[in-house]
Structure 1
């Protein structure tokens, strides 16, 4: 899919349920939000590396932090790619709309609430670690 047309959002724009789902405005809003999240993570990495956090093998807590950030960066990049492909905002399990309110709360959500609940229930029943 080709790049989305660039539009200028007003500073106070917030997506609402009353708009067309995943309209250009909504996609631009979430794209900017995700890019901001990515920039913040990269800033934190730079700050940590400047104080030597990444080069310390003594604390496994640092390794866990580094791994969590790396995983979060990947999820953000995947979400940005979904925006380009036109699949952002749709449940990976059912294809249904995830919902604007859920995405505003968690722009990295990949499942609608019903599918997320089903997966969590299944995980508890089978005690699987995903």
Structure 2
């Protein structure tokens, strides 16, 4: 029981080798839990959409219902894209590239990965990417 408790309380630390097996397992579990949560929410959304009657005699009720339905469907599309990113992150864990910046090859950083486990760029590379994006948007 002691090892199960310590596994749950484990937090990656800068004091240990980057992306050691324990860190990879921590992030794999974090990603799996996040994916399960999204899938559960998606199932609940589908159930709610199926239960909701679309036959509203009042035009305002119908418009409100259609607006809610459109929002739910946009949310589901974002969730579908997020699941693809989670799956890609889990594949990177398997192939040993997880936690390293796609552009520089440098470690992304534990704090960033803990906050955004699907990150593929270091904070510096992400900021540079966003600055370039802004310049092109403003033109």
Shorter-chain TM-score: what band? Answer: 0.7 to 0.9
Q: If each structure's helix is expressed as a fraction of its own residues, which one has the higher value?
A: 2
SS in 2 for 1:10: helix
TM-score by length of 1: 0.85
CA contact (8 A) 2:45 2:72 kept: no
1:22 aligned to which of 19, 26, 40: 19
Mapped partners of 2:8, 2:87: distance in 1? 24
Q: Aligned pair count? A: 121
Unaligned runs of 5+ in 1: 1-6
Larger radius of gyration: 2
Dislocated runs of 4+, deviation >4 Å: none
- In 2, the alpha carbon distance for the partners of 1:38 and 1:45 equals 10
Q: Contact between 1:103 and 1:109, CA under 8 Å: does it hold in 2?
A: yes
Structure-1 separation of matches of 2:135 and 2:41: 38
The alignment yields a C-alpha RMSD, in angstroms, of 2.2
Give the Cα–Cα distance (whole angstroms) in 2 for the partners of residues 41 and 68 of structure 1. Answer: 10
Q: Which runs of 5+ in 2 are unaligned?
A: 55-64
Pair 1:50-2:47 in alignment: yes
1:109 aligns with 2:119: yes
Task: Give the Cα separation in 2 of the matches to 1:49 and 1:67.
Answer: 12
Aligned residue among 17, 29, 33 for 1:32: 29
